[in-house]
Structure 1
């Protein structure tokens, strides 16, 4: 199972993740979702905390080594506690 990192933007904010120009002030939370079994490059319908993935933006981060955090270190303050707990459990 792959893990896909997703960004929940603040209401009315549309991050430009490809251009890396989104502003952290527009960030509500960082979520994780399993990859879709039929399309592994896409997230499943729900995050690990149960949120719908459709309105979330995909982040390009992938852990670079075993034991690495599932999320980018610079986004630690915004990590979804529900997703993090589910992944650690």
Structure 2
């Protein structure tokens, strides 16, 4: 194996630190990509990746949105909506 790095790529955004308004989608998406990569072709990991992406797409289409997406939801609310969609 070789070293791998999985992270959302964006600035540190110190102006929104601690305000619970950061968009969590990139972080969750990075986790999905990590599962797909580290699963090394295992269908279970690929299915988990696909389930997470489907949940993200569902929330983007009709769920709560953080201020950067013209919404008023908190980081926690968007994260909770994605988790709920994954488990549905």
Max Rg structure: 2
* TM-score of the alignment, normalized to the shorter chain, above 0.5: no
TM-score normalised by the chain length of structure 1: 0.27
Higher RCO structure, 1 or 2 (CA under 8 Å, sep 6+) = 1
TM-score normalised by the chain length of structure 2: 0.27
**More strand as a share of residues:** 1
**More helix as a share of residues:** 2
